[in-house]
């Protein structure tokens, strides 16, 4: 996963109503000394002097520059002088300025990014015990004063005046007819649509780093768990991170393994959500723990314990407060909810939520659930949202897969060496496969692992993955292939997109989609490609069920943020209660009737809810994008489809989709394909 925080858009009345304090805080802010009369006067003067230029662009540039001007920047005459001197009237000069801005922002973004990567290495990599200084340096954001400095030296105003910001609605209306340079100019305008104090940006960096570190260190020692008979169901050396490791272990027990292990993992998850989990069992194997009865043992004797003191929700609340403090400074996006969706994802929150609610309300869900129940030979349990039985297996057991991956990938260097071969197997020519792989470095992760792309072309992308001393387990390999997909996207869109301001993809859902396409080919990359004639049908069902699961999780995430905006003074304990109530409400609305179990809070287990504010919606959107891309790949080569799609760069989502697969992003193609698959299976 990776974080994106940029762009532009108009507000939603529904979301504004969730933030009663925003208007009061805006009044406390320093206001612009430039009144509307001056704005009109300057705009009219420029339009009269340059009648062949786009009048709307002139008006937007002057108005936006005036709105961001403060008394500390100068008086009215200073603003007038600035506009007269800085306005670019020559098309060739404007093009030259755009090229220079891209060059210099690549330098700034690239080196600030490299600083962050290097400073956070002790937090992200398996480098031994953490020191207090690791946390302090890891939460430091060297770029937090950049925006402030650029307003001080008028560079920001230069950009705003000549390359004004466009709202999402404007991009949707105009973008399809824009030239490439007009898109680059619009992306330049996205950079300075607000003026956020450096101390608030630093506070966000500190809060998100601390929550990320908390999650990275949240391991459960599975060999010390007891069932109600006092039995241990897991190997003594098995240590799993929450939630990813727990979820993946649960998924591995479909098939020949025991349902009892799944029930135990489910109980662990419930204790984490409720914060009834003993503090003593988090990242520790000093005690034995029965999660069913929530009893702790030391040397076979029951001992008292301290529950985790709502730390999980304290981190969530900390991130909320850090993000909310920025609200008054982003009038185009009055809440973080707006910024996460309309600005960063360039899809409105209401549009995303409605898409998800429509999908998980589909009657097709009941038919797929009935098929799963039949395949399992039992009634569904809440943890069957992670049913893994639609994977087109090779017939090779997971133990044998572990043996294969442990032997081939004994350390990060071994995995790194395999990357060019992976790309060649997927259709890239030898030279291009070597080129892409040379820009990716594999590191030993402290946590579950992640991909972190570069921000300048002479830097490298990082693939962080967890590899035990015995070698890479199959589940770890599967996740690493997913992260490799992110790295390939990051590398192609940085090096092969024609303009720096266009590098990347529309939002992180698109890089998730690319990562999913790689992950689904993990067995192929081991030389174990399935010959199952129903592989395509099973892949459709697997994608559908995965989307159904994570859409509910995402709705919980959105509802929790709405609740926090309505209850900004809530305590961690109050938030814990609210999260569970919201999770159960979403469950009862869309899942209880399907599973036959009411009031499960399981949708609140996701770690990203804690350490990656409002990131979760990218996963279900990614599943939908992946499906549409995979459908398009049936008649086109994998590497060609990805290369053509990725080299479009960061257009808005629907335009990117049209260019990539010829149709807009929607849930309907996956629903219809699932219905057809069920019919073909006579179900």
Structure-token pair, residue 157: 């105003």
CA distances from 515 to 484, 521, 570, 573 (A): 7, 10, 37, 36
| Residue 128 main-chain phi, psi, to 5 deg | 95, -170
* pLDDT of amino acid 447: 77
Cα separation, 659 vs 643, whole angstroms: 12
178, 191, 185: which is closest to 659 by C-alpha?
178
> Which tens digit of pLDDT belongs to each residue from 397-417?
888 999 999 999 999 999 999
* pLDDT of amino acid 530: 64
* pLDDT of amino acid 75: 96
* pLDDT of amino acid 67: 94
574, 583, 591: which is closest to 556 by C-alpha?
583
Structure-token pair, residue 255: 């098939």
Would you tell me how many other CB atoms lie within 10 Å of the CB of residue 244? 19
Ranges under pLDDT 50 in the chain: 1-27
Structure-token pair, residue 332: 């185009």
Q: Tell me the pairing of strands 239-241 and 288-290.
A: unpaired
* pLDDT of amino acid 281: 98
Cα separation, 369 vs 545, whole angstroms: 9
432, 486, 456, 431: which is closest to 622 by C-alpha?
486
* pLDDT of amino acid 395: 67
Beta bridge partners of 303: 296
* pLDDT of amino acid 258: 78
| Angle subtended at Cα 30 by Cα 26 and Cα 33, rounded to the nearest 5 degrees | 120
* pLDDT of amino acid 28: 52
Cα separation, 228 vs 250, whole angstroms: 19
> Which tens digit of pLDDT belongs to each residue from 264-286?
999 999 999 999 999 999 999 99
H or E, element range at 564? helix 535-566
* pLDDT of amino acid 255: 77
The alpha carbon torsion through 352, 355, 360, 364 (nearest 10 deg) reads -150
* pLDDT of amino acid 17: 31
* pLDDT of amino acid 392: 67
Cα separation, 283 vs 476, whole angstroms: 19
């Amino acid at each position: 996963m990776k974080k994106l925080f940029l762009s532009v858009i108009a507000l939603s009345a529904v979301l504004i109503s969730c933030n009663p304090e925003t208007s009061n805080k805006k009044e406390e802010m320093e206001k612009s000394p430039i009144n509307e009369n001056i704005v009109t006067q300057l705009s009219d003067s420029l339009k009269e002097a340059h009648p062949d230029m786009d009048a709307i662009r002139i008006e937007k540039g002057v108005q936006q520059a005036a709105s961001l001007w403060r008394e500390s920047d100068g008086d009215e005459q200073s603003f007038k002088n600035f506009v007269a001197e800085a306005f670019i009237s020559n098309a060739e000069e404007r093009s030259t300025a755009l090229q220079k801005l891209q060059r210099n922002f690549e330098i700034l973004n690239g080196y600030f990014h490299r600083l962050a990567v290097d400073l956070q290495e002790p937090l992200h990599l398996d480098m031994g015990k953490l020191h207090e200084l690791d946390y302090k340096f890891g939460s430091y954001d060297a770029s937090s004063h950049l925006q402030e400095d650029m307003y001080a030296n008028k560079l920001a105003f230069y950009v705003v005046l000549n390359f004004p910001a466009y709202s999402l609605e404007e991009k949707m209306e105009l973008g399809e007819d824009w030239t490439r340079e007009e898109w680059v100019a619009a992306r330049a305008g996205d950079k300075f649509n607000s003026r956020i104090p450096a101390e608030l940006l630093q506070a966000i960096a500190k809060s998100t780093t601390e929550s990320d570190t908390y999650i990275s260190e949240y391991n459960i020692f599975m060999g010390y768990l007891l069932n109600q008979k006092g039995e241990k169901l897991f190997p003594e050396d098995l240590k799993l991170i929450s939630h990813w490791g727990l979820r993946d272990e649960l998924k591995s027990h479909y098939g020949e393994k025991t349902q009892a292990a799944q029930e135990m993992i489910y109980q662990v998850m419930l204790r984490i959500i409720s914060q009834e989990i003993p503090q003593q069992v988090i990242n520790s194997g000093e005690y034995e723990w029965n999660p069913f009865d929530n009893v702790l043992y030391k040397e076979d004797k029951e001992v008292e314990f301290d529950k985790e003191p709502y730390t999980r929700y304290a981190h969530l609340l900390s991130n909320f407060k850090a993000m909310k403090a920025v609200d008054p400074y982003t009038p185009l996006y009055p809440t973080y909810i707006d910024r996460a969706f309309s600005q960063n994802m360039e899809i409105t929150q209401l549009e995303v939520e409605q898409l998800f609610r429509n999908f998980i309300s589909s009657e097709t869900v009941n038919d797929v659930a009935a098929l799963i129940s039949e395949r399992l030979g039992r009634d569904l349990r809440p943890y069957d949202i992670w049913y893994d039985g639609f994977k087109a297996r090779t017939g090779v057991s997971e133990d044998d897969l572990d043996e294969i991956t442990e032997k081939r990938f004994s350390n990060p260097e071994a995995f790194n060496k395999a990357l060019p071969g992976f790309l060649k197997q997927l259709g890239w020519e030898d030279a291009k496969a070597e080129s892409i792989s040379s820009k990716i470095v594999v590191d030993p992760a402290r946590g579950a692992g992640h991909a972190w792309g570069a921000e300048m072309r002479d830097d490298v992308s990082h693939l962080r993955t967890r590899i035990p001393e015995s070698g890479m387990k199959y589940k770890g390999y599967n996740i690493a292939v997913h992260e490799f997909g992110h790295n390939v996207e990051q590398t192609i869109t940085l090096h092969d997109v024609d303009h720096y301001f266009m590098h990347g993809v529309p939002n992180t859902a698109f890089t998730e989609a690319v990562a999913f396409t790689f992950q689904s080919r993990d067995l192929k990359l081991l030389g174990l490609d399935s010959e199952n004639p129903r592989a395509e049908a099973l892949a459709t069902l697997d994608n559908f069920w995965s989307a159904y699961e994570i859409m509910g999780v995402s709705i919980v995430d959105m509802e929790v943020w709405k609740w926090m905006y309505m209850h900004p003074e809530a305590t961690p304990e109050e938030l814990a209660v609210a999260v569970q109530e919201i999770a159960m409400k979403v469950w009862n609305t869309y899942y209880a009737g399907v599973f036959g179990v009411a009031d499960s809070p399981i949708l609140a287990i996701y770690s990203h809810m804690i350490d990656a504010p409002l990131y979760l919606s990218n996963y279900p959107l990614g599943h939908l994008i992946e499906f549409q891309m995979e459908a398009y790949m049936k008649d086109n080569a994998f590497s060609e489809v990805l290369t053509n799609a990725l080299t479009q760069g960061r257009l808005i989502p629907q335009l990117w989709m049209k260019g990539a697969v010829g149709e807009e992003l929607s849930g309907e193609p996956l629903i219809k394909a699932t219905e057809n698959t069920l019919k073909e299976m006579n179900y």
